[in-house]
Amino acid sequence: MASGFFVLLDDIAAIMDDVAVMSKIAAKKTAGILGDDLAVNAEKASGFASSRELPVLWAISKGSLLNKIIILPIAFLLSAFLPVAIIVILVLGGLFLAYEGAEKVYEFIVPHKHEESEGITEEALTEEQILAVEKTKIKSAIITDFILSVEIVIIALGTVIEEPLTQQIIVTSIIAVIATIGVYGIVALIVRMDEAGYKLIKFSKSEKSISAVIGNVLVKALPLVIKGLTIIGTIALLLVAGGIFVHYIPYFHHLSEEIKMPAIIKEFVVGLVLGFAVLLVINLFKKVFKKKTV
């Protein structure tokens, strides 16, 4: 009986070791989405009054966790009874990611006006108005998070789709937890950068003191950090999308084998080309729909 117990412990250790390895692989696969998720949420969580940033972020975090609780069981059921659906959803998600990345590239190349958000300040609005606007922005952020969460869960699940269901559940759940705690924890630090900077400046004895210099750097760095994350997130989106197409669509898989260049470049090009193709189709559809409604 004692030997059987130790064999069981050895099996558990082996399973946990496999889970650790697969979790690492899944984390690498989802890193691009997490980068974009980080950039999107940092942007959405900023623009509020200083005293409201963390409460708003906490509300979005709870919504994100609820999204994962809804998505995970559905994904596991599909994996157990209709595994081909995971691949289909994965490819469709890849098209969405490619479109999103291509749209950002297009907006950079062909700049156009956007509606600027004035932010929410306690001086500009009453308390009731602030809460109403916050509620609307929180709802919008949670909906965006739902889409990104679907992509994260499906990509993570896609990396372990051939493994036993138990390991699929453990690995994908680990990635989902990391996606929620990790992303929103970092976002909280990012959106409080300027506040920390202002406090350092306020308590510094002179403008040339170390605390004042660091404070000014933190204040000026916030918009640059968000912009940098957006650029990195865009590149990551196209790489992740291209990777999905190259690995799960036979045509692109064979095409990539014939082209002699680094895999990262091939995946980026495939993601960008298909992204622009989807962008073109959607823009044409919008124009046709707009003409019919006028």
pLDDT at 14 > cutoff 50: no
Q: What's the full length of the chain, in residues? A: 294
**Spatial separation of the C-alpha atoms in residues 98 and 254, rounded to whole Å:** 20
**Spatial separation of the C-alpha atoms in residues 255 and 260, rounded to whole Å:** 10
**Spatial separation of the C-alpha atoms in residues 60 and 180, rounded to whole Å:** 10
User: Are 95 and 274 in contact, with CB atoms under 8 Å apart?
Assistant: yes
Q: What is the pLDDT of residue 272?
A: 94
Q: Which residue has the tokens 């660091």?
A: 214
pLDDT over 90 for what percent of the chain?
8
Average pLDDT, the chain: 76
pLDDT at 91 > cutoff 70: yes
Q: Residue 257 belongs to what H/E stretch? A: helix 250-258
| Residue 273: alpha-carbon gap to chain centroid | 21
pLDDT at 116 > cutoff 60: no
**Most confident region among 63-77, 145-159, 248-262 by mean pLDDT:** 63-77
Tokens of 185: 């924890």
Q: What is the pLDDT of residue 9?
A: 33
Give per-residue pLDDT as tens, 241-251.
Answer: 888 888 888 88
Q: What is the pLDDT of residue 37?
A: 63
Q: What is the pLDDT of residue 277?
A: 94
- Least confident stretch, 95-109, 121-135, 143-157: 121-135
